[in-house]
Structure 1
């Protein structure tokens, strides 16, 4: 039915639906959990008419932070898919996830043996707040190392290979460090599963800062990504300084990924699924696909976290487990479709 609509109308409807779903996810995320709240209680707490720390200090920062993480992964995934001209590219292609895990594990090693009395998934209860800084530095450093090994941003084929090598080496080093202490294994394993449970207002402010720094340049590069879909030679013929723009695009997208991983751990498939689904409705115009992927990633991760909090309550699942259970079959479906077309 949507395919029969004019392209401009279809795109407008998709964007409106994304905004509507974002608002619905925000309300449901704040209202539902171990203790369910009525819409009236939520509204009163948000307006300051009634004090409710469950809303203002626990759920609201978690939901907003999760939306920022999802938006960062969604728009970074769209940028990487456009840059590599591959709908199966994801935000962790440059080794950022492995770099973050290695950095957090290294911090745990510096601390020595970890106290065993922490919750199974509460990595930030067992590690200091500096773990987020280490995660960010590790993710961004891995990306820069991948760029150096590949010989620059212009060589996209070498970038993929270099990212695989960097990720494999750092994963091996992480595994070695984890095996030195059983408590460290549990702490870092919890980090690699992804979790939004410990996102507070400080984390939301950090995510918002990086989002405001990196998102506008990415949105301005939508025209460059459109040109790249026609081939690098065509893009160069348009007079674009392609190598510098690709490097700038990579760094901006990697900055978002590093900030998201540092605050919430490694959450898979959000940056893969979101742009791919939206491309079916919006087409290949990255001037629209990039902001739509930010909205879609925010909606997807907010709803996935809602499932993580409610499926097994009063306990909760790491949100990375939920996104993997949703995204794994979808990824296999994409592979099957690509193979059928080939």
Structure 2
């Protein structure tokens, strides 16, 4: 057992180092990716000049610092937030199919964010608070519905899909009746990083950091939840408080991301599952790995979305959906094979008895 634990820790360290290197390289590539407004060579030259303390061309400085840099920062923050939110949801609900998109968390945050933007447009802090409330309410609604209908993993996912559909329908109704509530419907509903400002980032990054710190603080308790509620309670854990605190952290992370990038899906599904497949980390290690690899995934998807069909820009959510939908189906198939083998083994055991 000790040897296995050392192997897992070693894998986590290597995954962390590789994630950090990948994130730096991908972020630099996104910052320098050439367009007609500013080519790659000109961007590299301007970046080197600014880094050395010199004065670069005004247009190059404007594009780098006011357009591309906020977009890269937003990709890093939102990718980390959504991936960590997915990890916390999966741990608290004991379901590897849970994610902010599947469980209705993103839709709940987006719905109340739109309501606040419609009725109180001059209060960005209030919109952020409403997004958090919406994410939390959607998660708790899924949890309560699944507890009422049955605690199987499939029931939790079905409850999440139902709540997500309900929230999405309400969002569509608001956008159709009051189109002024959101400036770019496609960008909001599919998710995108265009038009990100430093002001919006300044409102969301502190909430994201607070949620990550609290999630790390709850890490030991979350690890105990994996043993089962009775075993965790026997070890002195307040199971209800730990689970609700974990759900609240996941909701805050998702709300922070939604208020910046809209209703992006699949980051919180893909990254935590890949991290567990590779390293089997503790919750605290998993949060660090999900933050790095979630950020790298979203930044590279944004880079692909804005360059693959240039001069047109694809929605980032479309690129993620092309990756995430097959991944989701593969997870379902993998789970079906696992449950099928367990059922066969149980049946053979019964026959032998």
Please confirm whether the aligned pair reaches a TM-score higher than 0.5, indicating the same fold.
yes
Aligned ranges 1:41-52 → 2 under 5 Å: 41-51=46-56, 52=61
Aligned ranges 1:107-118 → 2 under 5 Å: none
Could you list the per-position Cα deviations for residues 196-219 of structure 1 after superposition, in whole angstroms to 9, with x for gaps in the alignment? 011121122223211221111101
Give the structure-2-normalised TM-score: 0.81
Structure 1 residue 315 and structure 2 residue 344: aligned? no
Structure 1 residue 259 and structure 2 residue 256: aligned? yes
The change in CA–CA distance for 1:334 and 1:150 in structure 2 (over 3 A counts) is closer
Measured after TM superposition, the shift of residue 61 of structure 1 is 1.3
Q: Which residue pairs with 2:346 in the alignment?
A: none
For residues 113 and 53 of structure 2, the distance between their equivalents in structure 1, rounded to whole angstroms, comes to 38
> Of residues 217, 230, 234 in structure 1, which corresponds to 2:231?
234
Structure 1 residue 29 and structure 2 residue 34: aligned? no
Aligned ranges 1:192-203 → 2 under 5 Å: 192-203=189-200
Structure 1 residue 72 and structure 2 residue 75: aligned? no
Gaps of 5+ in 2: 340-353
Contact kept, 8 Å, 1:74 with 1:274, in 2: the verdict is: yes
Give the structure-1-normalised TM-score: 0.83
Q: Which residue pairs with 2:280 in the alignment?
A: 283
Q: Which residue pairs with 1:147 in the alignment?
A: 140
> Of residues 260, 265, 270 in structure 1, which corresponds to 2:267?
270
The change in CA–CA distance for 1:282 and 1:53 in structure 2 (over 3 A counts) is same
Q: Which residue pairs with 1:302 in the alignment?
A: 299
Could you list the per-position Cα deviations for residues 295-330 of structure 1 after superposition, in whole angstroms to 9, with x for gaps in the alignment? 111110011111011101122111111111111111
The change in CA–CA distance for 1:229 and 1:110 in structure 2 (over 3 A counts) is closer
For residues 216 and 48 of structure 1, the distance between their equivalents in structure 2, rounded to whole angstroms, comes to 34
For residues 313 and 131 of structure 1, the distance between their equivalents in structure 2, rounded to whole angstroms, comes to 32
Structure 1 residue 62 and structure 2 residue 71: aligned? yes
The change in CA–CA distance for 1:138 and 1:14 in structure 2 (over 3 A counts) is closer
Measured after TM superposition, the shift of residue 146 of structure 1 is 4.8
Aligned ranges 1:80-95 → 2 under 5 Å: 80-95=89-104
For residues 80 and 150 of structure 1, the distance between their equivalents in structure 2, rounded to whole angstroms, comes to 11
For residues 261 and 193 of structure 2, the distance between their equivalents in structure 1, rounded to whole angstroms, comes to 5
Q: Which residue pairs with 1:116 in the alignment?
A: none
Q: Which residue pairs with 1:137 in the alignment?
A: 130
Measured after TM superposition, the shift of residue 18 of structure 1 is 0.5
The change in CA–CA distance for 1:145 and 1:303 in structure 2 (over 3 A counts) is closer
For residues 185 and 16 of structure 1, the distance between their equivalents in structure 2, rounded to whole angstroms, comes to 39
Gaps of 5+ in 1: 112-127
Root mean square deviation, CA, Å: 3.1
The change in CA–CA distance for 1:53 and 1:19 in structure 2 (over 3 A counts) is same
The change in CA–CA distance for 1:328 and 1:93 in structure 2 (over 3 A counts) is closer
The change in CA–CA distance for 1:190 and 1:58 in structure 2 (over 3 A counts) is closer
Q: Tell me the SS of whatever aligns to 2:312.
A: coil
For residues 161 and 254 of structure 1, the distance between their equivalents in structure 2, rounded to whole angstroms, comes to 19
For residues 105 and 145 of structure 1, the distance between their equivalents in structure 2, rounded to whole angstroms, comes to 15
Measured after TM superposition, the shift of residue 110 of structure 1 is 5.7
For residues 204 and 43 of structure 1, the distance between their equivalents in structure 2, rounded to whole angstroms, comes to 25
For residues 212 and 64 of structure 2, the distance between their equivalents in structure 1, rounded to whole angstroms, comes to 28
For residues 242 and 94 of structure 2, the distance between their equivalents in structure 1, rounded to whole angstroms, comes to 15
Measured after TM superposition, the shift of residue 185 of structure 1 is 9.2
